[in-house]
Amino acid sequence: MKKFPAFRPKLSDKSISNINQEIKELSISGNFGMAIKEAEENYSILHNNYFSVLCSSGTTALHLACLGLGINQNSIVIVPASTNMATFFAPMYCGAKVIPCDVNKDNGLIDLKCLEKICLEQPVDLVIPVHLYGHVIDINNLLTLKEKYNFKVIEDCAEAHFASYENDEKFVGSYFDAGCFSFYANKIISCGEGGIVLFKNKINANKAKSFKNLSFGSNNEISKFFHKEIGYNYRLSNLQAALLNYPIENRNKILGIRAKIENLYSSLFKNREYIEEIPSQLSSYRVNWVYCIKIKEKFFKKFSSKKELLFEIEKKGVEARDYFYPADKQDFLINYSKQKNYNFSECSQALEFYERSIYLPVYEDLNKDDISEIVNIIDSVIL
Ligand SMILES: Cc1ncc(COP(=O)(O)O)c(C=O)c1O
C-alpha cells in the first residue's frame, strides 16, 4: 500500500552541495557563516527591505518579534482563536494578557468585527493576525483599525510564504510592524527547523538580534560578558541556513507546483456531494500550504468523532490532519487567564470553522495519480 504522509520535505542537490560547502568551511555555528547572511539579505530584499533576524523556529521568531516590540507583562495582546498555539505562547512567554479573538467561520481568519469589539472594551497593545493555511487576512481593514486604535501588529506568516494581498509583489510579513515565518519541515520554504522575523524598524530588529544571542554586552559595555538583561539562545545554525537559499530563489516554481496540486484536488472534489470546500478570499493572492476540506454534516455523522474519521483515512495510507483546536477551549489559556485575573469571550465561530474540517497532504512530489488515489481513498472512507 502506498503511503501519503501529511508532508514530505524536498531537498535539492543544490541545497545538499550548499550544506557540504559550509561543512568544508567549518561554518557550522549560528554565529557566523555566509548562509545566514544570505538568507537574511534575501528575505529583506523580498520583503520591502524590512530588517530580518534569522532564528531557530517560527515560535522563537514570534517570541523575538514580541521582545523586539517591547511586549511585557503589562501588554494586552490579541490572537485569533484558530492557529498553531505557538502564536499564543510567544506573547505569553513575555507575561502579556493574551486574549483570543473569534475568526471567520468559513476561512478561519481573524474576524475584524470581533477584534474591534475587543478594542472598544480595553486598550490593545498588539494584534497577531495569522495568514492561516496560506490564506491572507483582510490587510486594508486591519490597517484602518490599527490607525484607529493605535496597536502594533505582528503578522504570523508561518503558513503563507510569499502570499500577498494584492498582486503587487508585496509579500505578507511586510505590511505591518513585524512578520514571522517558520521554516519547519512541512513549510513552503523549509530548512527542517528554523524561522525568521522581519521588522519595519531597525531599532526593534537590533533589540531582537541581541535577545536572540544571549543579550551579550555591546561595545560600550565593560565586557562582552556583561549582560543588561536576560537573553536567549535562539540562533539557527549556518548549516541549516544553507538549506534555505535554493528554495527562496526557486519560490515561484515551488508555489506553482503547489497551486497545480490544489487545482487537481479541486477538480476531483468538485462534484463530491460530501464536500463543503473553504472559499478562497477573492482579494488575496494566497498560497497553497495544505488542502482543506469540510465534510457535510450528513456524511460526517457516520463517524463517532473527527479522530475516528482521521484514523479510518490513515488506515488506507493517507495522513490527513485535524484543524487547530480553538484556543478559547484550551486548558493552558483558561488556566493562564485565571492566574492573570482576566476574562475572554467564547469564540463560537472558531468552533464552527474547526468542526468537520480536515486537511490533506500537499508536497512537491505528489503527482496526478497520487492525488487521484488520495481522493479515491477519501471517497471510500466517507461514502
Ligand atoms: C501559524 C503558525 N504559527 C507558528 C508556528 C510555529 O512554528 P515552528 O513550528 O517553526 O516553531 C507554526 C508552525 O507550525 C504555525 O503553523
373, with CB counted inside 10 A (0-12, 13-18, 19+), is middle
C-alpha cell at 92: 505569553
Does any ligand 1 atom lie closer than 6 A to the CB of residue 57?
yes
Instruction: List alpha helices for the chain, DSSP H.
Output: 13-24, 34-46, 58-68, 86-93, 112-121, 139-149, 202-212, 238-241, 245-249, 251-269, 297-300, 306-315, 331-340, 348-354, 368-382
- Secondary structure (3-state) at 24: helix
Does any ligand 1 atom lie closer than 6 A to the CB of residue 56?
no
C-alpha cell at 253: 516554481
What is the whole-number distance in angstroms between the Cα of residue 332 and the centre of ligand 1?
A: 17
Give the C-alpha separation, 93 to 96, whole Å. Answer: 8
Residue-level pLDDT, tens digit, the chain, 383 residues: 999 999 999 999 999 999 999 999 999 999 888 999 999 999 999 999 999 999 999 999 999 999 999 999 999 999 999 999 999 999 999 999 999 999 999 999 999 999 999 999 999 999 999 999 999 999 999 999 999 999 999 999 999 999 998 876 799 999 999 999 999 999 999 999 999 999 999 999 999 999 999 999 988 889 999 999 999 999 999 999 999 999 999 999 999 999 999 999 999 998 899 998 766 655 668 899 999 999 999 999 999 999 999 999 999 999 999 999 999 999 999 999 999 999 999 999 999 999 999 999 999 999 999 999 999 999 999 99
What is the whole-number distance in angstroms between the Cα of residue 179 and the centre of ligand 1?
A: 13
C-alpha cell at 322: 485535524
CA dihedral 28, 31, 35, 39 (to 10 degrees): 140
Does any ligand 1 atom lie closer than 6 A to the CB of residue 80?
no
Give the C-alpha separation, 191 to 183, whole Å. Answer: 6
Q: Which CATH architecture has domain 251-382?
A: Alpha-Beta Complex (3.90)
CB 83 within 8 A of CB 156: yes
**Which of 30, 67, 44 is CA-nearest to residue 198?**
44
What is the whole-number distance in angstroms between the Cα of residue 57 and the centre of ligand 1?
A: 8
Give the C-alpha separation, 228 to 232, whole Å. Answer: 13
* Ligand 1 pocket, mutate which of 85, 159, 196 (most atoms under 8 A from CB): 159
Specify the CATH number of the domain 13-249.
Answer: 3.40.640.10
CB 127 within 8 A of CB 71: no
- Sequence spans of domains, the chain: 13-249, 251-382
Give the C-alpha separation, 383 to 380, whole Å. Answer: 6
CB 346 within 8 A of CB 327: no
Give the C-alpha separation, 286 to 300, whole Å. Answer: 28
pTM over 0.95: yes
Residue 191 DSSP class: -
